[in-house]
């Protein structure tokens, strides 16, 4: 399994982000590329300990049962629901969001699992740093594939 904590895997993700352009079009979903980058950056804030979204009722009821989908080998489904606090609907600047996300990935990877927040995922609940590492990679991979890279 690929993990954002593995330097080679983090470099691969950053290189794929660099292949995006402001004109990249989604193969599914409604986000434009700057919104996707901002969404991924906002998601990255949770395991970095910079955001603490609350657990929703649905997550409390079934999140533990669905949790393996975040870190197993199966790709995330297209048009999956997301955390309400990281839905990006306003216009964003492509270059700004691209650089912000790359910096967060580099920082998170370099700090390693020991600096991963213990705050629970708003849907899946408590995750180990290793599960976060796999899930972050998987989430980024999902959205990069959404934009063809």
For residue 80, the model assigns a pLDDT of 85
**Domain definitions of the chain by residue range:** 7-20+27-146
Q: How many CA atoms lie within 13 A of 49 on its CB side?
A: 10
pLDDT in tens, 19-32: 999 999 999 999 99
pLDDT in tens, 100-132: 999 999 999 999 999 999 999 999 999 999 999
Residue 143, classed as helix, strand or coil, is helix
Q: Indicate whether 79 pLDDT > 90.
A: no
C-alpha to C-alpha distance for 44 and 105, rounded to whole angstroms: 8
For residue 11, the model assigns a pLDDT of 97
By the 10 Å C-beta count (0-12 exposed, 13-18 middle, 19+ buried), 105 is classed as: buried
Q: In whole angstroms, how large is the CA radius of gyration of the chain? A: 14
């Amino acid at each position: 399994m690929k993990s954002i904590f593995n330097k080679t895997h983090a470099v691969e993700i950053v290189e794929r982000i660099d292949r995006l352009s402001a004109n990249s079009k989604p193969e599914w979903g409604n986000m434009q590329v700057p919104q996707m980058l901002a969404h991924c950056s906002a998601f990255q804030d949770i395991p970095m300990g910079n955001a603490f979204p609350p657990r929703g009722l649905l997550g409390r009821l079934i999140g533990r049962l669905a949790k393996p989908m975040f870190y197993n080998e199966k790709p995330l489904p297209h048009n999956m629901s997301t955390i309400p606090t990281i839905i990006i609907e306003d216009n964003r600047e492509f270059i700004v969001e691209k650089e912000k996300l790359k910096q967060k990935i580099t920082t998170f990877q370099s700090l390693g699992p020991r600096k991963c927040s213990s705050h629970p995922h708003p849907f899946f609940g408590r995750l180990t740093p290793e599960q976060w590492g796999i899930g972050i990679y998987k989430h980024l991979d999902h959205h990069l594939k959404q934009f063809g890279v």
